[in-house]
Structure 1
Amino acid sequence: MTDADLLARISDLPLNPDEVEKAVTGPEHGAVVVFTGKVRDHDGGQAVSALEYSAHPEAEKFLLKVCAEVAASSGLPVAAVHRVGPLTIGDLAITVAVAAPHRAEAFATCSLLVDRIKHEVPIWKRQLFADGLSEWVNAC
């Protein structure tokens, strides 16, 4: 799989987990793990009413790099799409998929990929609280 074949995208449109799963599925893989991160209604004991995600203009290049590195090191197909813009409770913020011959390596690689995206791709989250206040998360 080349970088051009990888599904690694930043989008302001609703996410489709089926698209991400399809990008990694193949007859040689008995396990496909699809992770969807959804906007929840609370954080740190506070009621959350919505989120806003902002991304660096080059964020998609960072996402592609992370996906390519994880695919190369694991030898497994991976895909990831992260949403930006305003999201409401229950909306999908990220969808990641990994396929493997067996479930253990698919789960482990999916977890690694999500962690790397969270820490290495310049996407920032602003939480809007029910009381009208807001805070930026992981904005350094």
Structure 2
Amino acid sequence: MSATNARWPVAIAVMLAVAGWLGVPAAVAEPHPALAQAIKSARAGTACDTLQYSPKAELAAEIVNRSTRDYVNFTAEYVPADDPHPTAIAKDVGIEGTKVMSLQGAAKTEIDAIKGLLLQGHQALSDCGYTDYGVSMLHEPQSGYSLAVVVMVGP
């Protein structure tokens, strides 16, 4: 493992500790409504079963999104966790499946960020191998951008 790759588990652990998310993630009452509905609607147009909400996938989405926000704000210590297959993050938050996909969108409005995410992920959303999902929507006040992330996982 290279020195750069070896830092990721440490960086993720620090992010989790700072956010107060050590251990099992707390259940989130509801995922971001507009983003969750967009994912459900996009998936409904496929032959696949409905994606099931997962608090662990939501935590992974939040980690990916916060790392991007921190990078945009020039406050990140590491490059953003923008790998389209964040399997290390998923494993760190307790997701046991090996199929992981992260979709991202950014725009001046939440609706446009969601549209960008859906455009990026139109093929992945029709992959029936993904069974669970989590979402994150953050607003970055310095730039005025909304940052949207969906993490989908499967067995």
Which TM-score band applies after superposition, normalised by the shorter structure? Answer: 0.3 to 0.5
Greater radius of gyration (CA): 1
Q: TM-score, normalised by structure 1?
A: 0.33
Q: TM-score, normalised by structure 2?
A: 0.31
- Larger fraction in strand: 1
- Larger fraction in helix: 2
